Chains A and B, each alone.
Chain A
Amino acid sequence: MLELVTLSKRYGEVIALDGLSMTVGAGRIHGFVGRNGAGKTTTMRITLGLARADAGEVRWQGRPVSPEDRRGFGYMPEERGLYPRMTALRQIVYFARLSGMEAGEARAAALAILESMGIAERSGEPVERLSLGNQQRCQLAAALVTSPQLLVLDEPFSGLDPVGVDNLAGVLQAQVDRGTAVVFSSHQLDLVERLSDEVTIIDRGRVVASGPVGEVRRSRGADQLKVALEGGGTAWADDLADATVVARFGDEVVLELRPGGDDQAVLDAARRAGRVRSFHRAAPSLTELFREVVSA
């Protein structure tokens, strides 16, 4: 289990982290969300020992993290992180050896991970000659080759097509299934919501929400109703006693229940206005939650 305890970090006048705390459990996928400059990358770098916190502590398995622990972590920086002119196989062996594996062991592990990523037959080519998708696979292979207990990924999904997203999601799930703690940052909130067990939202170096995705979604504000009529417009929802309008998309309206409001009364009002095509009650999505908490 990774614990970040009240991390603070300043760069000159800029406060990058302001007492940030979060926990990533073994066998969990933890989504890490925030606007650009919120402190995601700084947090990851401090976790890996690439930057040091001015105050606070990084703990691993219940004690302060050691350089040996960190050597065993898998890390994928936001961009590349590979030698462009070195072949995929040689550099993955190299990173494995720097992590402390013996030569034979490192080679076997590298071949196995490249095989499982489906790029074994390209492993003799310089990385710069691989397609972007294969470069990303190679990068991931470099992070996974030591079978790390903690995997830290900075924006791993950026630039991937939907098939690539699914592949990467599958790889992460496999890691989690063998007990790895995975933390990844992303701007794609729907993706974070879909893939993560837990989520931490940060803003200006502070945690604004953190916990299991469902809990975080329910923690903020009331449940929402999504109601769509067939060609009935959305004007019917303007002056309801039980709910207020949050957003409109064509004939669909998103409503937030007032305290003590009755969803059935809203449904009745909708049916009076026209034919109800869909009616859906749910906690706010992560996207909505994110908009709300970071713009506050």
Chain B
Amino acid sequence: MNKFDAVRLVAAREIGERIRSKAFKISAGVSLAFILTVAILPGVIGDGGPTTYDVGVFGARSDALEARLSEVAAFADDVAVDVHRLASEDEGRRLVASGDLDAAVGDGRVVVDRVLSDHLGLIVREANRQVTGEAALAGAGVEGAAAARLLAPEPLAVQALEPRSETETTREGLVFVGTLLLYGQLIGFGYWVASGVVEEKASRVVEVLLAKAPPNQLLAGKVIGVGVVGVAQLVGLVVIGLVAAAATGSIDLPPETVPVAAQVVAWFLLGFALYSCLYAVAGAIASRAEELQSTTTPLTFLAVGSFFAAITTGGDPGGPVGQVATFVPFSAPMVLPIRVAAGEIEPWEVAAGVAIVVASILAAMRLAARVYAGGAMHLRGQMKVRQALRAEETSRTGA
């Protein structure tokens, strides 16, 4: 039996037992229900279309108002206005009060139930401005095309200095959401590793295991096993969610979804390798499941802190937070993909960030294997990391 056999066996056990566990079935079921709800609901209840306002027009210039309201509304992508001709202001008041109309406008007044929303207000005011302007111009003898030019000039031409394609925006969004999603799971998977280690300590299985295989192989198998289950669960959920969403027409998937997802997963694997080794340390210094709460707290802080750094970076990919977080091993796997997707990063920064993360993973693995070996035989009470290292040192010296 070589060392890969031991790692493979431990990982296979981890996968088999995790999948069979009630906790896994429940969490997978809840996640699946959540994903399906989010994916299917918009398609079923039909969001997606623009907001439509019902606006009534009355008074002397209702013809002109009707025409201008539709024109102005056409400028905004996500808003449409249905215009209704009213016999009188009173009818408008009645229909607004009953909720059939969002607003009734005419004779220099707009009637609303409680408040005039910003969006609708802009449209109604602009239409009204044009109508009154038209009347004023007509009074001054300006009519027809000349009046139209004055009232509705050619729209401003937009000239972006760094034009952004639609796909770029989509990619950034996907990376951002994907990264945050995965790191939300990171704490969960890390906790699995920690609780798996402490379960073996509490049940003394670790004594039997350590007689069969060295601690670094046992640990590698555990981390790989949990990682496989975790990533498989996530990928499965995302695929099911996307397929369901596409089937019900809730969203349109851009073609770069798959490579972007692959990139996010690759970064996540680096992050998981780092965090899971540290969670294994947290498990190894506890002797009962109850103690995990306190031993994993520093890691939870690290993960949450990195999570906020990633959110900040999402809003400002080239900003100072993102720049610093690129070189911190705990946050780099979250921040780097976001900055790369936004194009706000130098190649050397990517290389340095990856190098730092990989070096940290190697250091964390070494630390975890030593603490695991040192802590494994410490079966009563919580210990300090330093204590576990000392225990491991004394167990290594001599014959």
Find out whether the CB atom of A98 lies under 8 angstroms from the CB atom of B397: no
**Residue A99 CB within 8 A of the other chain:** yes
Interface centre among B13, B376, B377, B398 (most CB of A within 10 A): B398
A sample of 24 inter-chain contacts (CB < 8 A) reads A10-B394, A50-B210, A50-B376, A50-B377, A52-B398, A52-B399, A53-B399, A71-B212, A73-B211, A78-B204, A80-B204, A81-B203, A81-B204, A81-B207, A81-B208, A83-B199, A83-B200, A86-B13, A95-B208, A95-B212, A97-B9, A98-B6, A98-B213, A99-B212
| Given contact pairs A52-B397, A71-B1, A81-B207, A98 touches B212 in the complex (Cβ within 8 A) | yes
**Residue B149 CB within 8 A of the other chain:** no
Interface centre among B214, B376, B377, B396 (most CB of A within 10 A): B377
Find out whether the CB atom of B1 lies under 8 angstroms from the CB atom of A100: yes
Find out whether the CB atom of B211 lies under 8 angstroms from the CB atom of A50: yes
Alpha-carbon distance A56/B16, docked complex (angstroms): 41
Residues of A within 8 A of B398 (CB): 52-55
**Residue A142 CB within 8 A of the other chain:** yes
User: How extensive is the interface on chain B, given as a class?
Assistant: 20 to 34
**Residue A45 CB within 8 A of the other chain:** yes
Find out whether the CB atom of A45 lies under 8 angstroms from the CB atom of B9: no
Q: Name B17's contact: one of A55, A75, A85, A100 (CB within 8 Å).
A: A85
Q: Is the interface of B mostly helix, strand, loop or mixed?
A: helix
**Residue B239 CB within 8 A of the other chain:** no
**Residue B21 CB within 8 A of the other chain:** yes
| Given contact pairs A11-B394, A50-B211, A83 touches B204 in the complex (Cβ within 8 A) | no
**Residue B37 CB within 8 A of the other chain:** no
Report how many residues on chain A are interfacial, defined by Cβ distance under 8 Å. 37
**Residue A172 CB within 8 A of the other chain:** no
Query: Smallest distance from the beta carbon of B394 to chain A beta carbons, Å?
Result: 7
Query: Smallest distance from the beta carbon of B240 to chain A beta carbons, Å?
Result: 27
Mark interface residues in A146-169 (1 if CB within 8 Å of B CB, else 0): 000000000000000000000000
**Residue B169 CB within 8 A of the other chain:** no
Alpha-carbon distance A82/B204, docked complex (angstroms): 7
Mark interface residues in A88-100 (1 if CB within 8 Å of B CB, else 0): 0010001101111
Query: Smallest distance from the beta carbon of B384 to chain A beta carbons, Å?
Result: 14
Q: Name B203's contact: one of A52, A84, A98 (CB within 8 Å).
A: A84
Mark interface residues in A118-150 (1 if CB within 8 Å of B CB, else 0): 000000000000000000000000100000000
Query: Smallest distance from the beta carbon of A285 to chain B beta carbons, Å?
Result: 32
Find out whether the CB atom of B13 lies under 8 angstroms from the CB atom of A52: no
**Residue B253 CB within 8 A of the other chain:** no
**Residue B205 CB within 8 A of the other chain:** yes
**Residue B395 CB within 8 A of the other chain:** yes
**Residue A198 CB within 8 A of the other chain:** no
Query: Smallest distance from the beta carbon of A182 to chain B beta carbons, Å?
Result: 16
Query: Smallest distance from the beta carbon of A45 to chain B beta carbons, Å?
Result: 7
Q: Name A75's contact: one of B16, B207, B394, B396 (CB within 8 Å).
A: B207
**Residue B150 CB within 8 A of the other chain:** no
Residues of A within 8 A of B17 (CB): 83, 85-86, 90
Find out whether the CB atom of B207 lies under 8 angstroms from the CB atom of A82: no
**Residue A57 CB within 8 A of the other chain:** yes
Q: Name A90's contact: one of B9, B16, B208 (CB within 8 Å).
A: B16
Alpha-carbon distance A51/B376, docked complex (angstroms): 10
Find out whether the CB atom of A55 lies under 8 angstroms from the CB atom of B399: yes
Residues of A within 8 A of B377 (CB): 45, 50-51
Enumerate B360-385 residues with CB–CB distance to A below 8 Å. Answer: 376-377
**Residue B209 CB within 8 A of the other chain:** yes
Find out whether the CB atom of A71 lies under 8 angstroms from the CB atom of B211: yes
**Residue A77 CB within 8 A of the other chain:** yes
**Residue A79 CB within 8 A of the other chain:** yes
Residues of B within 8 A of A100 (CB): 1
Residues of A within 8 A of B214 (CB): 67
Alpha-carbon distance A70/B21, docked complex (angstroms): 31
Alpha-carbon distance A94/B203, docked complex (angstroms): 16
Find out whether the CB atom of B399 lies under 8 angstroms from the CB atom of A70: no
Query: Smallest distance from the beta carbon of B192 to chain A beta carbons, Å?
Result: 13
**Residue A202 CB within 8 A of the other chain:** no
Residues of A within 8 A of B203 (CB): 80-84
Residues of B within 8 A of A52 (CB): 395-399
Interface centre among B16, B205, B376 (most CB of A within 10 A): B205
Find out whether the CB atom of A51 lies under 8 angstroms from the CB atom of B395: yes
Enumerate B200-227 residues with CB–CB distance to A below 8 Å. Answer: 200, 203-205, 207-214
Enumerate A239-255 residues with CB–CB distance to B below 8 Å. Answer: none
**Residue A49 CB within 8 A of the other chain:** yes
